[in-house]
């Protein structure tokens, strides 16, 4: 059934056959390697390195569909560039969970978003081991490539072949507890009790690279003794050595999904979740996210964690808001902090009615694929949050470009005030992304480019040009449900609305992904 919308502007597509298709498992030929020869336009000659993209790639076992798309098994695609050519490589992340389930073709583990082992409830009761799907992000740093999932440990991959490597105990693994069966829990902060119980910290799926010698990440766990969420922010050099470590804790609640970094602070939103009733989870009836409730009348809390000893931690409140992703770089200027993020307006009565004080978290985003036609997925907007650092108050929290429905914001590496994102609509309509957007957060100027019918758009990865020209190359995947294939498109940031300078068409489709990154030949 097509969406009743502005077909001329946004296209016309069927929710199940088109939008649903992009959440189908990758075909066998996606797990291969070949030189891409179906190319429209020309690959920029100065583009040298590798673009990596992660996402769920398999959604079923034993003839049964997973309960939620985010329970899908992690798949990584790589595009290696050099001498004006591109080579594709794709491979599943071979976690111990994936290997065992693949060999037996059975769902052997519980999942965060609702997938349970087959059989009676008793098979899931009191089993707190959750499958690490390694499907959220893929980042190369210090010559090493890692597939990430925020509730677990990283998996190291060969940067060229994407083969899953044997786990080490250094770099991002250090301090996680190598034998931990349950992540995100601590009793004595990595001591003997944690080791005895097989619990340990988790590594974020959203590390951010600040420059050639600084990557910022955090490790997280909930303390069962003092009921606090415990974070450790870490700054690594390009040898995976810790340059700086800052510990921070706040009253118990889920750790942040994403964060931003300013000159003096690590910045993250504490979303307004209610206290969780863990009994259905413990007894195997529900998954962790199925017991989470969004509190519609409670403000979100922005935490500013000092990067340096002379700064002080502070928290400020913003209007009811559910934060999804952050623009990595926050800006400090004239005593104020400017942070850009996207999320849901919990005061939007179309999706969060006055008659309710709370709603189930997954009631807004669940199922085989996000359901837009029945009006259950709230639109996501880009917000500017300004904090006065002297008075420790919120100056404003508002949409940068009212009505622009968007996701996956990322800033230009050469200008933090230019943000790129996928765009779904410009009139508050909640839809999948079928366009791309370039937004000046200072002036609110918006440039949009719309794809052809039945093509869905995704996260942009900017790469600085090396040819002496101004601007960046913008890499992004297209998911073409009409031709049943994926394509990698490259835009010129300075000629954004002219469309791609190059499209590389794959021989197969890829499942709708999550996050990606680019690594130059020097990294």
pLDDT band at 10 (very low <50, low <70, confident <90, very high): low
Position 154 in a domain? yes
Position 2 in a domain? no
Q: What is the DSSP string of 129-176?
A: -B-----SEEEEETTEEEEE-TTS--EEE-TTT-PBPPP-SSGGGTTS
The reply, when asked if residue 458 is annotated as ligand binding, is: no
How much is the pLDDT for 391? 97
Q: What is the dihedral of CA 171, 177, 180, 185, to 10 degrees?
A: -100
How much is the pLDDT for 9? 64
Total of domains in the chain: 1
Mean pLDDT of the chain: 92
Which two structure tokens, joined as six digits, stand for 102?
A: 């693949």
Kindly report, residue by residue over 364-399, the tens digit of the pLDDT: 777 788 888 776 789 999 999 999 999 999 999 999
Position 109 in a domain? yes
The reply, when asked if residue 308 is annotated as ligand binding, is: no
Position 215 in a domain? yes
Q: Is the pTM of this model over 0.85?
A: yes
Position 264 in a domain? yes
pLDDT at 167 over 90: no
Which two structure tokens, joined as six digits, stand for 231?
A: 């974070």
Kindly report, residue by residue over 60-69, the tens digit of the pLDDT: 999 999 999 9
User: Among 322, 303, 405, which Cα is nearest to 361's?
Assistant: 322
How much is the pLDDT for 2? 37
Q: Beta strands 185-186 and 214-223: pairing type?
A: parallel
- Dihedrals φ, ψ of 130, to 5°? -105, 140
How much is the pLDDT for 12? 75
Mean pLDDT of 457-462: 97
The reply, when asked if residue 80 is annotated as ligand binding, is: no
- 52 pairs with which residues across the strands? 78, 517
DSSP state of 491: E
How much is the pLDDT for 279? 86
Kindly report, residue by residue over 27-58, the tens digit of the pLDDT: 999 999 999 999 999 999 999 999 999 999 99
pLDDT at 80 over 80: yes
Mean pLDDT of 122-150: 93
Position 514 in a domain? yes
* Radius of gyration, CA atoms only, the chain: 22
* Residue 522, H or E segment: none
pLDDT at 521 over 70: no
Find the angle CA(244)-CA(248)-CA(253) to the nearest 5 degrees.
140
Burial environment of residue 225 by CB neighbours within 10 A (0 to 12, 13 to 18, 19 or more): exposed
How much is the pLDDT for 5? 46
How much is the pLDDT for 254? 85
How much is the pLDDT for 191? 78
Mean pLDDT of 403-426: 96
How much is the pLDDT for 4? 41
The reply, when asked if residue 208 is annotated as ligand binding, is: no
Domain interval for residue 50 = 7-520
DSSP state of 192: H
pLDDT at 179 over 80: no
pLDDT at 8 over 80: no
pLDDT band at 462 (very low <50, low <70, confident <90, very high): very high
How much is the pLDDT for 11? 67
Mean pLDDT of 69-93: 97
pLDDT at 329 over 80: yes
How much is the pLDDT for 471? 94
CATH code assigned at 473: 2.130.10.10
pLDDT band at 249 (very low <50, low <70, confident <90, very high): very high
Kindly report, residue by residue over 342-357, the tens digit of the pLDDT: 999 999 988 898 999 9
Position 1 in a domain? no
Q: Are 228 and 252 in contact (CB under 8 A)?
A: yes
Kindly report, residue by residue over 105-115, the tens digit of the pLDDT: 999 999 999 99
End-to-end CA distance of the chain: 46
pLDDT at 1 over 50: no
User: Among 318, 325, 323, 501, which Cα is nearest to 420's?
Assistant: 325
Position 387 in a domain? yes
């Amino acid at each position: 059934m097509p969406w009743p919308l502005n077909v001329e502007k946004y296209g016309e597509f069927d929710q199940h056959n088109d939008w649903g298709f992009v959440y189908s498992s990758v075909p066998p030929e996606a797990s291969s390697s070949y030189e891409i020869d179906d190319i429209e336009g020309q690959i920029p000659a100065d583009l040298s390195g590798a673009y990596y993209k992660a996402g769920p790639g398999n959604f079923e076992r034993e003839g049964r569909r997973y309960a939620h798309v985010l329970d899908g098994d992690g798949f990584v695609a790589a595009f290696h560039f050099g001498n004006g050519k591109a080579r594709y490589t794709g491979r599943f992340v071979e976690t111990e969970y994936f290997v065992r389930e693949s060999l037996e073709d059975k769902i052997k583990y519980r999942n965060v978003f609702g997938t349970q082992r087959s059989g009676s409830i008793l098979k899931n009761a009191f089993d707190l081991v959750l499958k690490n799907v390694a499907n959220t992000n893929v980042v190369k740093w210090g010559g090493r490539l890692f597939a990430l999932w925020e509730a677990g440990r990283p998996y190291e991959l060969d940067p060229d072949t994407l083969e899953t490597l044997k786990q080490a105990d250094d770099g991002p693994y250090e301090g996680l507890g190598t034998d931990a069966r349950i992540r995100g829990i601590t009793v004595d902060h990595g001591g003997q009790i944690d080791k005895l119980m097989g619990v340990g910290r988790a590594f974020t799926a959203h590390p951010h690279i600040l420059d050639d010698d600084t990557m910022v990440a955090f490790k997280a766990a909930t303390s069962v003794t003092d009921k606090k969420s415990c974070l450790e922010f870490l700054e690594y050099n390009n040898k995976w050595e810790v340059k700086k470590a800052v510990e921070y804790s706040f009253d118990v609640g889920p750790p942040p999904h994403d964060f931003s970094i300013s000159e003096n602070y690590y910045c993250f939103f504490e979303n307004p979740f209610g206290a969780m009733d863990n009994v259905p989870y413990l007894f195997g009836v529900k998954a962790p996210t199925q017991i989470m409730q969004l509190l519609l009348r409670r403000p979100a809390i922005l935490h500013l964690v000092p990067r340096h000893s002379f700064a002080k931690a502070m928290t400020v409140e913003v209007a009811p808001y559910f934060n999804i992703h952050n623009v990595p770089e926050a800006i400090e200027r004239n005593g104020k902090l400017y942070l850009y993020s996207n999320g849901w307006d919990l005061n939007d009565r179309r999706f969060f009615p006055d008659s309710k004080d709370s709603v189930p978290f997954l009631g807004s985003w669940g199922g085989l694929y996000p359901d837009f036609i029945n009006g259950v997925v709230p639109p996501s907007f880009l917000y500017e949050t300004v904090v006065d650092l002297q008075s420790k108050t919120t100056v404003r929290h508002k949409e940068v470009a009212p009505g622009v429905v968007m996701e996956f914001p990322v800033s230009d590496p050469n200008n933090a005030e230019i943000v790129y994102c996928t765009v779904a609509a410009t009139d508050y309509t909640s839809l999948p992304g079928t366009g791309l957007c370039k937004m000046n957060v200072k002036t609110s100027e918006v440039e949009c480019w719309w794809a052809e019918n039945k093509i869905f758009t995704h996260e942009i990865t900017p790469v600085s040009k090396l040819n002496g020209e101004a601007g960046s190359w913008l890499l992004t995947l297209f998911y073409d449900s009409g031709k049943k294939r994926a394509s990698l498109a490259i835009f010129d940031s300075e000629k954004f609305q002219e469309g791609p300078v190059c499209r590389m068409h794959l021989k197969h489709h890829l499942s709708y992904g999550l996050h990606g990154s680019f690594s130059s030949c020097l990294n």
